[in-house]
């Protein structure tokens, strides 16, 4: 589990790729390796990866990770080149404050940086999600204004959503621009996206209730809520109220 608060920027120093996947070495990372062990998890640009080798002193502190083909297909890590910086966060400890949101570091898909605009000393960015497929459905139901989304491992607040264009926007304050790689990426580059996992669980639970044995009760409940809302808005007339004798008042 992670928080989406980036701890450090590391630098890609070596890449070795074959048909089985890709080994990535990330240097200049000593600050997050002081308590590292082989097998630990580190989120790299928002992807939870296992440390298979590390040295706190060599190359400013380096660690090596292995990227399976699934990871390469889901993330932008296959696009990284030697010299690129990446966002790094260690798995959260139980004793630390939870400053971001629940992040699994299981990247759902990549989006494309569409455009950007300065807003005072802040930076607004807009992203476009790919066309949904049966294998990878649309993530837009889980992205809402003032909700949160994880972009390259950073927990960010959604400022706008355009479902028709498959677009959403965020804003980076000046401090955030300096602490993560996102502001340095160019329009057209890909970013890693992880949506709210709580929203996914809620959706699955509701669908299971509607389709399962509790479906009729759930439908009745939803219908009652909708009818009450329409009555309160004056769209539907109020239902007659029965008196104690069984007649209509």
CA gap 190, 129 in Å, rounded: 10
Would residue 50 show up in a list of annotated catalytic residues for this protein?
yes
Helix (H) or strand (E) holding 231: helix 215-232
CA gap 151, 194 in Å, rounded: 7
Would residue 95 show up in a list of annotated catalytic residues for this protein?
no
Among the listed residues 16, 50, 98, 205, the single catalytic one is 50
Would residue 8 show up in a list of annotated catalytic residues for this protein?
no
Helix (H) or strand (E) holding 90: strand 85-90
Among the listed residues 41, 112, 159, 176, the single catalytic one is 41
Among the listed residues 14, 68, 91, 217, the single catalytic one is 68
Would residue 36 show up in a list of annotated catalytic residues for this protein?
no
Is the separation of the CB atoms in 181 and 87 below 8 Å? yes
Paired tokens of 112: 């494309």
Among the listed residues 48, 105, 111, 154, the single catalytic one is 48
Would residue 41 show up in a list of annotated catalytic residues for this protein?
yes
| CB under 8 A, 24+ apart: contacts of 134-140 | 136/108, 136/109, 138/166, 139/108, 139/109, 139/193, 139/195, 140/166, 140/168
Among the listed residues 73, 91, 157, 217, the single catalytic one is 157
Q: Which residues are catalytic?
A: 2, 41, 48, 50, 68, 106, 157
């Amino acid at each position: 589990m992670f928080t989406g608060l980036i701890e450090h920027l590391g630098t890609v120093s070596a890449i070795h790729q074959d048909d089985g996947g890709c080994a990535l070495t990330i240097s200049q990372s000593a600050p997050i390796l002081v308590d590292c062990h082989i097998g630990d998890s580190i989120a790299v640009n928002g992807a939870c990866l296992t440390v298979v080798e590390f040295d706190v002193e060599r190359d400013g502190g380096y660690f090596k990770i292995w990227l399976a083909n699934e990871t390469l297909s889901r993330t932008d890590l296959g696009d990284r080149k030697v010299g690129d910086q990446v966002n790094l966060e260690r798995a959260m400890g139980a004793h630390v404050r939870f400053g971001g949101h629940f992040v699994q570091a299981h990247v759902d898909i990549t989006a494309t940086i569409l455009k950007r605009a300065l807003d005072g000393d802040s930076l607004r960015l807009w992203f476009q999600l790919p066309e949904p497929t049966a294998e990878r459905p649309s993530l837009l139901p889980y992205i809402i204004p003032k909700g949160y989304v994880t972009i390259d491992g950073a927990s960010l607040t959604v400022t706008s959503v355009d479902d028709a264009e498959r677009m959403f926007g965020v804003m980076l304050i000046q401090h955030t621009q300096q602490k993560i790689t996102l502001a340095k990426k160019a329009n057209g580059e890909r970013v890693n996206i992880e949506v709210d996992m709580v929203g996914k669980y809620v959706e699955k639970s509701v669908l299971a209730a509607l389709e399962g044995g509790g479906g009729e009760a759930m439908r009745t409940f939803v219908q009652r809520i909708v009818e009450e809302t329409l009555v309160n808005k004056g769209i539907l007339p109020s239902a007659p109220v029965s008196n104690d004798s069984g007649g209509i008042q």
